[in-house]
Structure 1
């Protein structure tokens, strides 16, 4: 199957090209089937894509009522007295998705799923981990996966069965993900599958965040102190992400240049989790990257190596495109009813 690398001028063109990939896939499938399962990511890179997608739903080009979504990840340990408060916290990924996509669509997407990290009580999790029974931390870097043994009982057993395995089983029951939108972190990580976590750790990961991640969250003013910042997260592992029938990765800015080229031209290694995409393509998967020219800079310099791998670079930089400033973020439906 193909691996296409689309190169665009900037964030606006990247968003439009990426949205076109999603819309084309959805249009083709919904012409033949009743439903579409869409995988989603958080972060800055896909936000423009989501605005274009909301516009397509609101204009009637796509039917949101036939779509089910599954997100990549969610924090564990957000401030709040109960799961509802945690899910509504402004730094939760549930809140992010409502703001950036779900709340913009008319009609609404009938079923959206974000990993169930807000159900976990961080204090109970810490107590179970301190007891030291039934789990181990795995990984070669600062972010580690908490691997819960098959015979673990109590709170850890509940997390394994209901939160981790339960989410993976729900994806499978929906028929799997038709297209998964992902981004990439500064060290090549996908969601919270951090650098150094083995690919076979678990389909769904419980990840202990490293101390620098906590400090950065406070420095960036996401949380007022490390004490109230989440210390854990729930995330799809790269292996589960790449079970999707199509994967679309979007990335912009110079911070992504190194991870992108390592993922495309380097070894397949847990040190760069996005590199699993090479195995996915070799096994018949359909992978698309949409990059702005800064994220693509080193790939463009090494275009001969990319071609030698059999991967296709498609350059859109000379084409006209729509400014995000002109995208109607919340289109009124055609009957004039506002939501």
Structure 2
């Protein structure tokens, strides 16, 4: 796991976007894993600017979203299908048919989860997976207690997660669904490169547990310690409780230029 401490969330987003641009330069048909929430927004902003400047193309790429709420109408603005479309795919040249989101309206949710896993495998797996982290250490909607080998499935959201996400529902927690479909930790771990972004003091405890704590279902994101190519991009506030912050700064400052992210 590589930890990179940057001055701001925007700087972290720009670095993640650069990694995606370099991936697409060598593999135009790359498969991207897309996250929602606040953390990836600077990445999508940077990629949209690169697209406008003619520096990157998504015309041959495809994407899979991490998760989706159960029961929200397809056009609900807080639904992740709508968020990904508004914040990213409508701003670049990725074909709409190439963007996949779990079907939270399926009549058979378990079959939809199996189908989503099969679709990822058929696409050849995810080349670069963007991730955020919840204040309780969840990634995707894999809440504390999730199996470290879990696959795409139905999950019940904790009250903390629902409270955190109420800001996307006009601050009304009662409007936040109680269930979701999410890629599992085992699914996420099969991505070839996992890039997690975190910013702000509210994520400092979760970042410390993920990076320096034991690998445990208590902090689902800690499973990334076992990932062969995991990159954690954090701002100063999110890194404020890391005991090894000095070492992380030193190793990144002295990283060989050819190594990339």
The TM-score with structure 1 as length reference comes to: 0.69
| Displacement after TM superposition at 1:221 (Å) | 4.2
Moved more, 166-175 or 104-113: 104-113
Q: Go from structure 1 to structure 2 and tell me whether the alpha carbon gap of 1:173 and 1:264 turns closer, same or farther (over 3 Å shift).
A: same
Give the aligned partner of residue 258 of structure 2.
none
What is aligned with 2:51? Answer: 57
Residue 302 (structure 1) aligned to one of 234, 239, 244 = 244
* Cα deviation, residue 252, structure 1: 0.4
Deviations 1:79-100 (A, max 9, x none): xxxxxxx111011011111111
Q: 1:17 matched to which residue of 2?
A: 15
d(CA) in 2 for partners of 1:94 and 1:28? 28
Where does residue 69 of structure 1 map in the other structure? 63
CA distance in 2 between partners of 1:71 and 1:193 (Å): 14
Does the 8 Å contact 2:166/2:172 carry over to 1? yes
Identify if the C-alpha distance between structure 1 residues 50 and 214 changes in structure 2 by more than 3 Å, giving closer, same or farther: closer
Residue 216 and residue 69 in structure 1: after superposition, are their counterparts in 2 closer, same or farther (change >3 A)? closer
CA contact (8 A) 1:178 1:245 kept: yes
Q: Which residue pairs with 1:99 in the alignment?
A: 86
- How far apart, in 2, do the equivalents of 1:171 and 1:213 lie? 26
* Counterpart check, 1:43 vs 2:51: no
Q: Is the 8 A contact 1:36 1:67 kept in 2?
A: yes
Aligned 8 A contact 1:66 1:109 in 2: no
Q: Distance in 1 between matches of 2:13 and 2:207?
A: 17
| RMSD (Å), alpha carbons | 2.4
Structure 2 residue 128 is matched with structure 1 residue 182: no
Distance in 2 separating the partners of 1:186 and 1:165: 28
Q: Secondary structure at the match of 1:65?
A: coil
Whole-angstrom distance in 2 between the partners of 1:217 and 1:296: 22
- Partner SS for 1:196: coil
Unaligned runs of 5+ in 1: 79-85, 121-157, 317-339
1:167-219 Cα distance to aligned partner (Å, 9 max, x none)? 0000000000000000100011001100112223x310201223454456557
The Cα shift of 1:297 comes to 1.7
Contact 2:147 2:185 in 1 (8 A): no
Alignment of 1:87-166 (within 5 A): 87-106=74-93, 108=95, 110-120=97-107, 158-161=108-111, 163-166=112-115
Between the aligned partners of 1:52 and 1:212, the Cα distance in structure 2 is 30
Does 2:235 correspond to 1:292?
yes
Structure (1 or 2) with the larger CA radius of gyration: 1
Does 1:278 pair with 2:220? no
Matched, 1:267 2:214: yes
